[in-house]
Amino acid sequence: MTSNNEKFPVTNKQAARIVQGLHTEVLVSGFKDKIFVVVTQYGRIGSLINTTFDIPPNLARSPSTVPTTSKFLMNSAATELSDLYLLYAASVSRAIATSNPRESRPVVLGIALKDTGDIQKRKELYENIMEMIRDTIA
């Protein structure tokens, strides 16, 4: 229970847009020990991936290139999307580090995106999602 003077320890930011004709939502929740990010076009969490920084972002040459390690926690079926989702996990973590180089909390990403199977559409979707993430954490 928090007193009237204490700020609730969880911060939430969210955004929603139509991306490639689909309602797409981003939620970023900052907890004391982790940052939880959901990116969904299905209204569910989907795959869950934990990403940690290999070194503190502020010690990296550039926070946007800080090395990370990602691990599936849920729904890790070896599919074509697995590698793409790992790319999203690393990119989201690096976007957070770029926004705040002193940030060192692990990032847990829940991601459920519609797969078009088209490489160009995947690239456009990735760029749109990352723009949403950057706008949300700004």
Note whether residue 96 is domain-resident: yes
The CATH number of whichever domain residue 88 belongs to comes to 3.30.230.90
pLDDT of residue 77: 61
Asked whether residue 74 is assigned to any structural domain, the reply reads yes
Tell whether 5 is covered by a domain.
Answer: no
Per-residue confidence band for 94, with pLDDT thresholds at 50, 70 and 90: very high
Pairing of strands 68-74, 47-53: antiparallel
pLDDT computed for residue 102 by the predictor? 92
Using alpha carbons only, give the angle 71, 48, 58 rounded to the nearest 5 degrees.
Answer: 60
Residue 124 belongs to some domain of the structure: yes
Contact 112, 40 (CB under 8 A): yes
Strand 107-112 and strand 47-53: the pairing is: antiparallel
Mean pLDDT computed over every residue of the chain: 91
- Write out pLDDT tens, residues 46-69: 999 999 999 999 998 888 899 999
4, part of any domain = no
Domain assignment present for residue 72? The answer is: yes
Residue 3 lies in a domain: no
- Give residue 6's pLDDT band: very low, low, confident or very high (50, 70, 90): low
Determine if the pTM surpasses 0.85.
Answer: yes
34 in Cβ contact with 108 (< 8 Å): yes
If one counts the domains in the chain, the total is: 1
Boundaries of domain holding 69: 11-137
Closest CA to 133 of 33, 52, 27: 27
The reply to whether 1 falls in a domain is no
According to the 3-state scheme, what is the secondary structure of the chain?
A: CCCCCCCCCCEEEEEEEEECCEEEEEEEEECCCCEEEEEECCCCCCEEEEEEECCCHHHCCCHHHCCEEEEEEECCCCCHHHHHHHHHHHHHHHHHHHHCCCCCCCEEEEEECCCCCCHHHHHHHHHHHHHHHHHHHC
